[in-house]
């Protein structure tokens, strides 16, 4: 009996202690608030990281665009220099064209003079003609040194880029449209035709 009463008293004490001990109601709410704050902080960091990533991608795109523009500008500059160099080279290459064209007319006169028949001339005129031939040969050497060459295509097919047909003739032994005779010599300067040859062309 005494033991039962003791057990009852102890149970009552335990119940009283449980009723008197306060339950910390704020503990679960504090954890929740901390979690929410942490989530907000994480979200904010995530947004900032995304913005920084977007800015980085934009900067990379801008950088690539600038690199492409620099490369394009460099390529244009190289092409411009090449064009200017070509123009300068051509200008120097054909700078003497006007003078040489005039000298060619002098060459024509020399050729007409040296075609005279030596047998019909006096000794004095024959010596004079020999001097003409020497001057003509000297002049042709000078012109050759400056890139002048004759257009002589007898026996070849007529080329309108190098020749002009002044006459036609019919020669059975030759093919059609072949140059039979050069009536007036043509000339090139460094590969460029400065005077087309006047020719007679075969026509059947």
Query: Within the chain, where are the H helices?
Result: 2-20, 26-93, 97-114, 123-145
Query: Does some domain include residue 166?
Result: yes
Contact between residue 120 and residue 141 where contact means Cβ atoms under 8 Å apart: no
pLDDT confidence of residue 119:
66
Domain check: are 139 and 187 in the same one? no
pLDDT confidence of residue 161:
96
Helices 97-114 and 123-145, axial angle in degrees (round to 10): 150
pLDDT confidence of residue 125:
78
pLDDT confidence of residue 5:
58
Query: Does some domain include residue 167?
Result: yes
Q: Which residue has the tokens 């700078």?
A: 95
Query: Does some domain include residue 15?
Result: no
Give residue 37's domain range.
32-93
Query: Does some domain include residue 17?
Result: no
pLDDT confidence of residue 116:
72
pLDDT confidence of residue 155:
92
pLDDT confidence of residue 18:
47
Domain check: are 121 and 106 in the same one? yes
pLDDT confidence of residue 29:
64
- Splitting the chain (204 residues) into consecutive groups of 10 residues, what average pLDDT does each group show? 55 49 54 75 84 91 92 94 91 90 93 76 78 91 94 94 94 91 95 95 90
pLDDT confidence of residue 7:
54
pLDDT confidence of residue 139:
94
Number of domains in the chain: 3
Query: Does some domain include residue 108?
Result: yes
Domain check: are 153 and 132 in the same one? no
CATH code of the domain in which 177 resides: 2.30.22.10
Among 93, 117, 135, which residue terminates a domain?
A: 93
Closest CA to 149 of 114, 112, 190, 109: 190
């Amino acid at each position: 009996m005494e033991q039962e009463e003791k057990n009852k008293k102890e149970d009552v004490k335990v119940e009283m202690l449980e009723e008197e001990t306060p339950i910390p109601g704020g503990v679960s709410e504090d954890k929740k608030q901390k979690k929410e704050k942490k989530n907000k902080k994480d979200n904010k960091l995530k947004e900032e990281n995304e913005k920084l990533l977007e800015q980085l991608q934009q900067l990379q795109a801008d950088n690539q665009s600038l690199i492409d523009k620099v490369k394009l500008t460099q390529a244009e500059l190289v092409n411009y220099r090449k064009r200017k160099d070509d123009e300068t080279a051509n200008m120097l290459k054909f700078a003497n064209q006007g003078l040489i064209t005039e000298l060619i007319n002098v060459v024509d006169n020399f050729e007409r003079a040296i075609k005279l028949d030596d047998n019909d001339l006096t000794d004095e005129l024959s010596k004079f003609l020999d001097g003409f031939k020497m001057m003509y040969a000297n002049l042709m050497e000078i012109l050759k040194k400056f890139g002048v060459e004759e257009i002589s295509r007898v026996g070849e097919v007529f080329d309108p880029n190098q020749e002009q047909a002044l006459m036609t003739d019919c020669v059975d032994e030759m093919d059609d449209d072949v140059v039979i005779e050069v009536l007036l010599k043509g000339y090139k300067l460094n590969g460029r035709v400065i005077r087309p040859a006047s020719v007679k062309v075969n026509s059947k």
